[in-house]
Structures are given as structure tokens and as C-alpha cells.
A and B are shown apart, each in its own frame.
Chain A
Amino acid sequence: MTCRELDSALDAGALTGDARRHAEECARCRPLLRVLEQGSANAAAADVRGIQSTIVRDLRPVRPLAPAAFYLGAMMIAVAAAVVAGAMLLHAYGWRALGDTRRIGIFAPLAVCAAAVAVWLERQMSPGRKFGTVFAWSASIAGALLAVVVALSFGPRPETRFVARGVSCLRAGVEFAVPVAVLVFAVIWRGASLRPLRAGAAAGALAGLTGLAILEVHCPNFDAWHIWLWHGAVVAICALAGLAAGKLLYKV
């Protein structure tokens, strides 16, 4: 057995005979094992009486969080309802002009990104959940993929009134994102108290992605700069606003 294999054996907890033999024979591993064994043997001197009385004094029954599917479903319904409402109120000019390939190229990564953010947000509702960061990374990768698809599908085009049109899109996107953000915050209200800033930013980003989806359905302006800057700004602004809201709303 090598020192590296001993490290892997240490991950498993209890050491096998081989690992213990190696530790006894190896001058580098023997002291390491002795130090690690000291750690598990240390006695604790915690004062628990005060804690017990404080907790018992303020004890009342609480309702545990609903299953994850409930929160995910509620978030997805809020997002889908907002996109449908946006398409009906603003008209789906962009959707009609896109064509099938671009629709898939745009909306598939967008849907994956929104779903990953929703799952990441749900994972934050209860501390110590599995795979939280995996979904955060998945959302980032899907977002980057969307930016690449925009570059490949559209490219820069000469445009007049770049700022005026951009601000109009930005305003429309944020206006539709706000009710979604309110709904998402209402859904996650009871959880996500451990890292309020992160949860707030994720909730804001989900609302911002909804605003972005509505703009992609509505906006027929296919200038890549317009989409990157003004449509992308909806997500960034909502995420920042969510971060601020998280700080204000969850003071634990």
C-alpha cells in the first residue's frame, strides 16, 4: 500500500489491516495517523444546560417544509404563467420571426438555465442538501451557452435608436420579472434562511430569466449586441435586486 492509498482508506473511516500495517511501517504516515486519532479521541466540555432551557422556554410546534416537488412546481408554474401572460400582452413577434432551429437554440438553454436556478434555489431552502453547487454550475453553463447561441445565430447588425429600443426592452423585461420575483419570494419565504443573499440573488435571477424569456418571445430585434446588453441586463438587474431583497427580508 502507498501513502496515497492510505489517504483513500482514511476517507472510508475505519482503516483496514493493510492500511494500518502501512501506517505502522511508513515514517511519513505513522505520525499523521497518530495526530488524526487524537482528533477523534478529544473529549468535549460543552455547557448544554443553558441551551436546553433557552430552547425549551421558546418551544412550540412548527410545520416542516413541504416536499421539494411542491416548491419546484410552484416556481415553474409562476414562470410559465408569466411567459404566457407576457406573450399574450406584448405579442409574440420574436417567436414568429425566429424559426424552428433558432427557437430550439434559444429556448432550450434558457429553459435548462431557469430549471437549474429553480432547483438550486430549492436546494438552498434546507441546509445540507445534496448537489446544490452542481445546479448553480449547470445554470451558469446553460447561460453561457445561450450567450454563444445568440452570437452564432444573430451577430451584430446596424441599428438605429440602440439605447431607446434597448431601454424599452429592459423596462418591459423587468416589469414582467417583478411579479415573478414576488411570487418566488413568497414560495421560498419559509426556507432559504441560511444564506439569504445567495437565495435572494437566485430568486432574482429566476425572475430575470423569466423576463428574458418574455423578451425573446416578444422582441423581433435580432442584433446580438441588443440581446446581450439589454435583454441580459434584465437578468443581471433582477439578480442584484434579489440580492438586496434577500438581505432585507431574511434576517436570521
Chain B
Amino acid sequence: MLCAVTFPAAPANDPVELMVRYQQGDAAAASLLVELLSPQLFRFFAAQMGSAADANDMLQDTWLRIHRVRHTFRAGEPLLPWVYAIARRVRVDSYRKRRRVSAREVAADVLPERSQAAEADRDLPPFEAMIAVLPESQKEVLTLLKVNGLSVEEVARATSSTVGAVKQKAHRAYERLRQVLSGVRG
């Protein structure tokens, strides 16, 4: 005899609730969660990779990995650090894979060239171009804080770090950006 399992409607804005239902096998909750979290995950990758195609590839890898390890989420824990710890791992793995494939590297201290149009209207470089001058760890922390809107504590959890270390990286990043921006404008 087939037993139909029904789930009461999940609140659309509660990702933790959606995640729990995803663990229970609720297809609607899984789809909604993908829809809810994908834009910010995409931004997380795009801000650091600078390419929409790469960001989409990594987004897919992240969801496949989330799907495989979805049982490791505990309902009492915050969801975003769990998701971003996985996304971060995907990014690191992808970075290593790419480094193996291609030895080409972009020097971290060189500011990407600005387009003539941007030069003409003396506008500031885009966020992605600006953070390209930062070391990987600072770039990651700044993306999670300013693009994904995570709190310092959530970033510390996602990066297996401490609140103090996250703040230190963020402050160093701000200082470096100030230096670069004063160079751009001067």
C-alpha cells in the first residue's frame, strides 16, 4: 500500500525550515531553497572569479555537494555558515584544479586595467576589479561580508576561523583598498 506523505506549507523565507524539509525529501522545499540561495551563492563565486560562466559551474558543483552531504546539517545550527563552508570548499577545490591545468596566474598586486569609458568619466572601478588586488583570504572575507551580507560570526563559522581573525582580514582589506583607491584617484 502506498502511503502519501504530505508536508504542511513551509514559510517561504525560512531557509532553515526549507533545509529540514529538503532533508525529509520534500521536492518543493528543495527547489525553493535552490531558488532562494542560488543568487547569493552565484554572487559569492562571481565576485571572486570575475566570470559568470565559472560562477555558474561552481554554483552547480556546490549544489551537488550540498545534496550529497545534506544529512550533515543539524536543525539547531545556522544554515548560511554551513552552506558557505561547502561553497568555499568547492571554490578552493576548483582553484586547485585550475591551477593544475593552467600555470597562468594573475599577479595579485596589479590593479586590473580600467576601461577607457571608466577612465573618461572618472568612475570608480567595479567591486570585482577592486577586490582582485586583495589576497585570496581577504577577498573571500570581504565577499562574504559585503556581497553575501553574512555577519562576522557567520563568516568565521563558514571559513573555520575566529571572529578576531575575520575582523583582522576585513580591516586589512579595507586599508589595502583605501591605498589602491587613493592611487586610482590620484
Contact = CB atoms under 8 A, between A and B. Distances in A.
A193 B72 contact: yes
Interface stretch (B10-18, B26-34, B101-109, B113-121): B26-34
A125 B126 CA distance: 38
Q: Which bracket fits the contact residues of B?
A: 35 or more
A88 B126 CA distance: 68
Interface stretch (A46-54, A99-107, A166-174, A213-221): A46-54
B82 A55 contact: no
A64 B74 contact: yes
A28 B177 CA distance: 9
A29 interface: yes
Contacts of B38: 44, 46, 48, 51
A11 B169 CA distance: 11
Nearest to B184: A31
Interface residues of A, number: 55
A61 B21 CA distance: 9
B40 interface: yes
A35 B71 contact: no
Contacts of A36: 127, 142, 146
A61 B23 contact: yes
Given A61-B24, A128-B82, A194-B85, A40 B73 contact: no
A56 B31 contact: yes
Given A28-B178, A133-B160, A13 B47 contact: no
Given A7-B174, A45-B52, 5 more contacts: A10-B145, A27-B182, A47-B59, A64-B72, A194-B86
**Top 10 closest A-B pairs, CB basis?**
A128-B81, A127-B85, A46-B42, A44-B39, A61-B25, A128-B85, A39-B127, A128-B82, A62-B71, A38-B127
24 contacts: A3-B178, A7-B175, A8-B167, A10-B170, A11-B167, A11-B170, A13-B151, A32-B174, A36-B127, A38-B127, A39-B127, A42-B47, A44-B42, A46-B38, A46-B41, A46-B55, A48-B34, A54-B63, A59-B22, A64-B23, A125-B72, A128-B81, A130-B156, A252-B68
Interface of B: 22-25, 27, 30-31, 34-35, 38-43, 46-47, 52, 55-56, 59-60, 63-65, 67-75, 77-78, 80-86, 89, 124-127, 130-131, 142-143, 145-147, 149, 151-152, 156-158, 160-162, 167, 170-171, 174-175, 177-178, 181-182, 184-185
